[in-house]
Amino acid sequence: MERQTLTVEEAARALGIGRSAAYLAVRRGDLPVIRIGRRYVVPRIALERMLNETSHVPTPPGDAAEARGR
């Protein structure tokens, strides 16, 4: 059976971000976690759902114009 959770470090690698950025996202509530004792684990399905939802978010109009101007 495949593990249903990832460590914060594993989730960070999957997202392509650093460990510190991942823990900051946990503190801000941007990364879905379950706390078990002193450990945080990231439910695999919640991470996948988060990625699927955010992949459909359109780019804000100001960002596209700024990118072209650079």
What was the pLDDT predicted at 5? 97
Confirm whether 37 is domain-assigned: yes
What was the pLDDT predicted at 50? 87
State the DSSP code for 6. Answer: E
Number of domains in the chain: 1
pTM above threshold 0.85:
no
Confirm whether 49 is domain-assigned: yes
Confirm whether 68 is domain-assigned: no
Confirm whether 67 is domain-assigned: no
Confirm whether 65 is domain-assigned: no
Low-confidence ranges of the chain (pLDDT < 50): none
Confirm whether 19 is domain-assigned: yes
Domain residue limits at 18: 5-56
Confirm whether 66 is domain-assigned: no
Angle between helices 8-15 and 19-28 (to 10 degrees): 110
Instruction: Please give the order of strands across the beta sheet that includes 39-43.
Output: 5-7, 39-43, 34-36
